[in-house]
Chain A
Amino acid sequence: MKWETVIGLEVHVQLSTRSKIFSGASTAYGAPPNTQACAVDIALPGVLPVLNRGAVERAIKFGLAIGATINRVNVFDRKNYFYPDLPKGYQISQLAKPIVENGVLVIDVDGAEKPIRITRAHMEEDAGKSLHEDFHGMTGIDLNRAGTPLLEIVSEPDMRSSAEAVAYARALHTLVTWIGICDGNMQEGSFRVDANVSVRPFGQAEFGTRREIKNLNSFKFLQQAIDYEVRWQIETLEDGGRIEQATVLFDPDRGETRMMRSKEEAHDYRYFPDPDLLPVKLGEDWIEAVRATLPELPAAMQARFVRDYGVSRYDAVILTATRATAEYFEAVARESGQGKLAANWVMGELSAALNRADLGIEASPVTPAQLAQLIARLADGTLSGKLAKQVFEALWAGEGDVDAIIEARGLRQMSDSGALESIIDEVLAANAKSVEEFRAGKEKAFNALVGQVMKASRGRANPQQVNDLLRAKLAAH
């Protein structure tokens, strides 16, 4: 039987506010345990929550960015359960009336656009952390993270493969960092993914029973976990088994998912509106003020890059992976007037060099203006591709102006055909054997001759020109 995979994602995005969602304590990562937990965070008797406007603003910004409905009145609820790192015995979240509903994020699937519907996004507070090591059979509790603002973004089950799920997660990651509501740091837990996965026979309308994989903190694990889970579900069904609704965890070391709790063990969270917080009422002024701070979004920029700079859609998606990359590319493309070349260099040479040096594009030693100048010299024939790479290396090393480097290193491409012709004559005279072989029909010999000419010109000859002149000379002989 042929099976279809169905995936919906719930993503917890940590909002980039300096203080917590309901208290004044800092959200900075990595402080010693419990040094960033105030009276409200540790839930002393009598304390009360006060909503951080910065968190609301970021949630609105996200809603606007996905074209969603911003609920003018939204409500915080209490989700009640006992756990040592949940100080109040309830989490403040939004159930019935979330701040954001009904948005869309378009992802790229094999060069085609696919809209993924976002059901809702709601604000909530994070819990603390239980530390099970180093306490000799006891559990340590660190409440620094308790009360950190989160936006939980819930998609419809619109994805049909792990690749689509990863594309969606990546697009979402791009968007939330792009609009500046999240630092996107997955190692520090700023972007955590839960995947709801089910399978069904192709053509069946009803969804299969889903299992939820919790807390995936890398795109690689997301892909591996879904792939494993899909295989497991199909095997189970084909062996005549049934899928029970459950929550599972992914073990990256073993590459497997394992059961965390079954549906029977699911909590009754006894949600009800938090009486300590009034319904959040959003005025049009505020929403419009937030709208005014929205930058051009990745999707719009991708369309513009395709239209204005002639890059492929596939490349446009890569060039808009981060706002910094997009801005860098656009500066290079605009100044050089060479969109495709700019795209190739940003995604190719520059990206590779940045990776080797483990640098972000913001910290690139080569400025967009320098790269644009380099590309301009490539386009006007001053530089060959090979020479351009040498100039790039010099730029990377901090040798300054492109033209100065070309002059200082003598890297200008030979444009004087007379000089080139004499080099070719010398090469032909010195390589009679290759000439013979070429005449005998060995095309390879031609390439060897081109190589010799390039070498004799110290790489400065224009390869196309060498080709043309060489063929003409060989024909004339």
Chain B
Amino acid sequence: MLNASLKTLAAALAARQVSSRELTRTWLERIAALNPRFNAFITVDWEKSLAEADVADARIAAGQGGPLTGVPVAHKDIFCTEGWLTTCGSKMLANFVAPYDAHVIQRFKAAGMPSLGKTNMDEFAMGSSNETSFYGPVRNPWDAARVPGGSSGGAAAAIAARLAPAATGTDTGGSIRQPAAFTGITGLKPTYGICSRYGMIAFASSLDQAGPMARSAEDCALLMNVMAGFDPNDSTSLEREKEDYTRDLEAPLAGLRVGLPKEFFATGLDNDVAAAVQAAVKELQKLGATVVEVTLPNAGLAIPVYYVLAPAEASSNLSRYDGVRYGYRAPEYANLDDMYAKTRAQGFGAEVKRRILIGTYVLSHGYYDAYYLQAQKIRRLIANDFAEAFRACDVILGPTTPGTAFRLGEKTDDPVQMYLNDLYTIPANLAGLPAMSLPCGFDSRGLPIGLQLVGDYFSEARMLNVAHRYQQVTDWHTRQPEGLA
């Protein structure tokens, strides 16, 4: 059951072979047994989870179940969940019980999918290793001395260790795809505006996007059917006709044009990763795809652009954590300014402070034009590069990350090395394009390697189709870490 697909679980539930309570309990027990090793969850609440499972069972019994009713799912602790602690991985919100549900959470509730708990993450989603969490680092189930990636590291580790069949994640610069790559799972960052950001604690508003994390493309497609949809409470949410993301899963790949950007295969790419990606290209060719070389000439500027824009937005988004209305407040202070200073000095971790400082700097009088405006212009150029590339291909393919999972502490003293991990993932966020990561092999140390697909706007169904067909002829996504029985 722990390895069953969402489709199989849903069928077993619908056939009353198993109850949601039994399923939910199974995973809760596994979390209780294994989470101490990986620290993938911040909050687990049996009572709440089982109550939600009972609601799902009642719906199924009443014949009112939907496609995934009763299937439990874990939520990244960035989503506000009514009555649950919602910390965003920060001391600042260590006491914050959300009084409302994020739009995405409402959708999971409406679909009758019980929550298994809240997963660990980098503080305010700022990090690529899950080491910035106030709740301690998450460990990679493939090698506990290594990081699971970030910021959705808890979700990725939970799925890889079979602590949850699926999870929600968010992706601002690679936070779904990079941990998916590091832990051998599948994750999708949809087109910006497909999933509502309402109730998803903001890091960088123009880049943040929620998406599914699971073991296969098919599971991700089913989760997209739940998560995606217009929300009038999010002004950047896109009003589109409802889609069935599973509709094209089985379509043949004959005639598919796969674009390989030469910039994604340049120096700095690990040999094992390069080889695995090239092997995946060959598999796709066998399935009928043709390969074209494309170019993204400005992709190399993605990291500096991102590290202007994301901190700029973050510096403003995080201003609300001031100790006045909720969250952490310093216990002692001399006056108002002192309360602000101490609250924020004590409540935020080092990486969050670093980004607030960068963001405040680039928005300051006299620097705005040189940094923020310039970065916005380059952002437009990067989007134009993709538009040009998609004239020649249907999907862009490359590695998700330059290397595989690194050791805990290996990059914590060198933020720039840490940032370079997101070299291949950030461009899709800047352009607002859908992108996903799926397993395509292992390196010589036995660590998973991620293959990235970037599609044109709203081409999620096609990307899932490509990934699904690939997963039909490969078994990388079914491998699991040893010793977790």
Contact = CB atoms under 8 A, between A and B. Distances in A.
B320 A82 contact: no
A278 B320 contact: no
Contacts of B26: none
Interface in A27-75: 39, 42-51
B357 to A, nearest CB: 12
Given A84-B324, A276-B236, A46 B319 contact: no
Given A272-B363, A276-B205, A82 B80 contact: no
A82 B316 contact: no
Interface in A350-399: none
Interface stretch (B93-101, B280-288, B409-417): B93-101
A80 B363 CA distance: 10
Nearest to B205: A275
Given A50-B235, A88-B319, A45 B324 contact: no
A44 B326 contact: yes
A78 interface: yes
A270 interface: yes
Given A270-B363, A272-B312, A45 B96 contact: yes
Contact of B320 (A87, A139, A141, A270): A87
Nearest to A42: B325
Contacts of A141: 324-325
Nearest to B92: A45
Contacts of A43: 320, 325
A90 B363 CA distance: 13
B199 A47 contact: yes
A278 B363 contact: no
A268 B198 contact: no
Interface in A72-95: 78, 80, 82, 84, 87-90
Contact of B235 (A89, A268, A276): A276
Contacts of A49: 235
A277 interface: yes
Contacts of A47: 198-199
B322 interface: yes
B22 interface: no
Interface string A254-286: 000000000000001011100111100000000
A50 B372 CA distance: 25
A89 B316 contact: yes
B102 interface: yes
A421 to B, nearest CB: 85
Nearest to B78: A46
Contacts of B200: 46
Contact of B80 (A46, A78, A87, A90): A46
A50 B363 CA distance: 24
A87 B325 contact: yes
A450 B93 CA distance: 90
Contact of B316 (A39, A50, A80, A139): A80
Interface of chain B: mostly helix, strand, loop or mixed = loop
Interface in B314-330: 315-316, 318-320, 322, 324-326
A115 to B, nearest CB: 34
B235 A45 contact: no
Contact of B368 (A51, A272, A277): A272
A276 B114 CA distance: 30
Interface in A397-436: none
Contact of B233 (A45, A50, A82, A90): A50
Contacts of B313: 272, 275
Interface in B203-257: 204-206, 232-236
A48 B368 contact: no
A46 B336 contact: no
Contacts of B100: 39, 44
B144 to A, nearest CB: 31
A87 B372 CA distance: 25
B126 interface: no
Contact of A45 (B80, B236, B364, B365): B80
A275 to B, nearest CB: 4
B102 A46 contact: yes
A113 B322 CA distance: 51
A270 B358 CA distance: 13
A39 B102 CA distance: 12
A370 to B, nearest CB: 51
Given A44-B100, A88-B320, A270-B363, A278 B236 contact: yes
A46 B93 contact: no
B201 interface: yes
Nearest to A268: B365
B123 to A, nearest CB: 13
Contact of B322 (A89, A270, A278): A89
A42 B201 CA distance: 14
A391 to B, nearest CB: 60
Contacts of A80: 315-316, 319, 363
A51 B235 contact: yes
A270 B324 contact: no
Please indicate which of the listed interface residues B99, B236, B318 has the most CB atoms of chain A within 10 Å of its own CB: B236
B206 A48 contact: no
A277 B197 CA distance: 12
Nearest to B313: A275
B322 A48 contact: no
Nearest to A37: B325
Please indicate which of the listed interface residues A49, A51, A89, A270 has the most CB atoms of chain B within 10 Å of its own CB: A270
Contacts of B79: 46
Contacts of B316: 78, 80, 89-90, 270, 272
A116 B325 CA distance: 43
A82 B364 CA distance: 15
A352 B336 CA distance: 51
Contacts of A44: 80, 98-100, 326
Interface in B37-89: 79-80, 86, 88
Contacts of B199: 46-47
A90 B319 contact: yes
5 contacts: A45-B201, A46-B98, A46-B201, A47-B199, A270-B368
Interface of A: 39, 42-51, 78, 80, 82, 84, 87-90, 139, 141, 268, 270-272, 275-278
Interface of B: 79-80, 86, 88, 93, 96, 98-100, 102, 197-202, 204-206, 232-236, 312-313, 315-316, 318-320, 322, 324-326, 336, 340, 360, 363-365, 368, 372
**Leading 5 A-B pairs by shortest Cβ distance:** A89-B319, A270-B363, A275-B205, A275-B206, A46-B199
